[in-house]
Chain A
Amino acid sequence: MSELFERSAAEIAREVNERRVSASELTQAALAHVRANDGEIGAYLLVLDELAKETALRVDERIARGERLPLAGVPLAVKDNMCLTGTRTTCASRILERWTAPYTATAVARMLDAGCVPIGKTNLDEFAMGSSCENSALGVTRNPYDLERVPGGSSGGSAAAVAAREAAVGMGSDTGGSIREPGAFCNVIGFKPTYGRVSRYGLIAFASSLDQIGPLTRTVEDAALAYDAMAGHDPMDSTSIARAVEPSATTLREDLQGLRIGIVREFGLDPLGAAMKAVYERAYRDLEALGARLVEVSLPTADYGLATYYLIAPAECSSNLARFDGVRYGLQVQAGDVATMNSRTRAAGFGPEVKRRVLIGTYALSSGYYDAYYVRAQKARTLVARDFAQAFDKCDLIACPATSCPPFLLGAKSDPYSMYLMDYYTIPMSLAGIPALSVPCGWVDEGDVPLPIGLQLTAPHFAEPLLLGAAHAYEQATQHALRCRPESFDCASRAQDRLRAKSRDRR
């Protein structure tokens, strides 16, 4: 039997429900593992020792009363842009560094109600703006598979926590790829549901027409269990969808017989380089071997996705972040008049990437430029969504890369636009609001380190059961996630040696 903290959410829930192990024992094991391991990884901004132990006791009481909970005792990592009553909720920003949430996000509350135990709040790019976690003002997170590389972002803390077995389920939010890209980089499942399927009440807003909460997990079954627990209508979020959620964990598939999977003509694999190209060609062949029929589809406007996104998302962010003005909560830099107080507070409280996006969004919405930039981008968005609708006339799912490169070295991307390019393959799905996930599909060797690669699968609105079902068949047949363990705790000393050797070389 593997260590307690190694188990999947499904295994944990089964054992806690059958009273073979208590939520309290599991929580002790998880917290001990976090204490031993997270110093190197930096997945958590805050570890909730007391709350975790109290919550575990309550889960054990519920089990003792005869309740069965779908996620009984499952250690949960919560991205620190989601509110949890009485805990610091920072968005990894100086402006909220000392803010304590007075209420709990609906999605988090649902996970706790399903039996999860909150281990801690995880690092992110400030206000979820970034693709590497390096825009965090409050800490560095390292990729558990190579400590010199980024975990991806913005949900990099949750992805790293799950990869390093510091939680079984991580909660992330995805605006342009912020669950899927760190999922791919950390060799875990990163799943963004249909826009509106999970309540955003208590998720601190970045771009409201794009933001969506979803799970990061080590198995597809766990992603399905987490999705089933967190999805559903919420009167507190009027954009949440008022139709019943079809459960996905009970409809996982073992093959892809009868499915047509679209391969996107415009996403040719040559630009990715020989090693990644080989990984994706192999993945497409594996889909076929499982019974899927591959068909070519076209997304002619996908190439405009990045430009569309980098107008719409900053525009919405400039509006959403106007609330951080130093008056009602968070940081305040004092000044003699209100406008100066606002401007100095925001200058001191926001990091460079947040400032850039607020400025570009303010510009795109300003008088004289609104039609040329924002409205035009919204029209381009219509075309991107239409492309997907037409493609799904010819196929049931689409398969494509999740990222254009493997996890990169910390500090490697200093130019903002080169970081924005990281979202190239994930943005079109966000613009269309369709569900999409990244599932581990192989490795590329970089020196002596194998680096994980993710396959992105996407489906029409509300086709989560089909999407997760197909991902499960692929995962079960290939098991790429199991081929390599994070060096951070499997061979921690080797990683340390390598780090020391490299810093010696630099000197």
Chain B
Amino acid sequence: MPEIDIRYVAKLARIELTEEEVERFGAQLSALLEHVKALGELDVASVAATAQVVESRNVTREDEPRPCLEQGVVLDEAPHRQGPFIRVPRILAE
């Protein structure tokens, strides 16, 4: 089992880590992966994966407008807004 590449995983997870966190989390997560290795002992070749344990089915409904949250109430929670928009940093170069 390869050592966890914590910097790469943190980039995927979009969490900026300090050097101290890279060290600490790297060691802690490697230790946890050692513990979960035990699952390798189970013979699961012919076992189906379980995603939902209780009866579940696809749920659909008519695509009709229904009452929903007011736009202003939702926008009020955004850290930065401009008029009826949520403002974020530029994603395309000028």
Contact = CB atoms under 8 A, between A and B. Distances in A.
Contacts of B36: 307, 310-311, 373, 377
A127 to B, nearest CB: 14
A128 interface: no
Interface in A365-387: 366, 373, 375-383, 385
A417 B89 contact: no
Interface in B34-70: 35-42, 44, 47-56, 59, 61, 69
Contacts of A301: 42
B53 to A, nearest CB: 3
Contact of B73 (A102, A235, A377, A433): A102
A180 interface: no
B78 A327 contact: yes
Contacts of A340: 16
A358 interface: yes
Contacts of B53: 195, 209, 381, 385, 431-433
B86 to A, nearest CB: 6
A359 B49 contact: no
Interface stretch (A343-351, A442-450, A472-480): A343-351
A362 interface: yes
A471 to B, nearest CB: 21
Contacts of B74: 102, 328
A103 B40 CA distance: 44
A306 B35 CA distance: 9
A337 B91 contact: yes
Contacts of B89: 334-338, 341
A375 B49 CA distance: 6
B47 A344 contact: no
Please tell me the size bucket of the interface on B.
35 or more
B84 interface: no
Contacts of B6: 359
Nearest to A341: B89
A408 interface: no
Q: How large is the interface on A (under 10, 10 to 19, 20 to 34, 35 or more residues)?
A: 35 or more
Contacts, number: 162
B25 A356 contact: yes
Contact of B78 (A307, A329, A343): A329
Given A195-B54, A359-B10, A373-B36, A416 B77 contact: no
B39 A347 contact: no
A160 B88 CA distance: 41
A290 B12 CA distance: 56
Contact of A344 (B16, B25, B29): B16
B83 interface: no
A181 interface: no
A221 B43 CA distance: 43
Given A328-B86, A338-B89, A239 B52 contact: yes
Contact of B35 (A195, A335, A339, A417): A417
A103 B86 contact: no
B21 interface: yes
Interface string A211-251: 00000000000000000000000010011010000000000
A176 interface: no
B28 A379 contact: no
A325 B78 CA distance: 11
B60 to A, nearest CB: 9
A172 interface: no
Contacts of A139: none
Given A356-B28, A363-B9, A380-B39, A209 B49 contact: no
Nearest to A350: B15
A382 B39 CA distance: 13
Nearest to A342: B14
Given A329-B78, A332-B80, A379 B13 contact: no
A388 to B, nearest CB: 10
B69 A362 contact: no
Contacts of B69: 102-103
A163 interface: no
B14 to A, nearest CB: 4
A332 B31 contact: no
A325 B39 contact: no
Contacts of A347: 15-17
B77 to A, nearest CB: 4
A344 B28 CA distance: 22
Contact of A382 (B15, B32, B49, B90): B49
B54 A383 contact: no
A380 B32 contact: no
A492 to B, nearest CB: 38
A433 B52 CA distance: 9
Q: Please name the 3 residue pairs, one residue from A and one from B, whose CB atoms are nearest each other, closest first.
A: A433-B53, A332-B79, A378-B49
Interface of B: 4, 6, 9-17, 21, 25, 28-29, 31-33, 35-42, 44, 47-56, 59, 61, 69, 73-74, 77-80, 86, 88-91
Given A310-B35, A358-B15, A417-B31, 16 more contacts: A196-B56, A318-B13, A329-B79, A330-B79, A337-B89, A338-B91, A346-B16, A355-B21, A355-B25, A359-B13, A359-B29, A363-B9, A377-B39, A379-B49, A381-B50, A461-B54
20 contacts: A99-B77, A102-B77, A239-B52, A325-B14, A332-B79, A337-B89, A340-B16, A352-B21, A355-B15, A356-B29, A359-B10, A360-B29, A378-B51, A381-B49, A381-B53, A382-B44, A383-B44, A385-B53, A433-B54, A461-B54
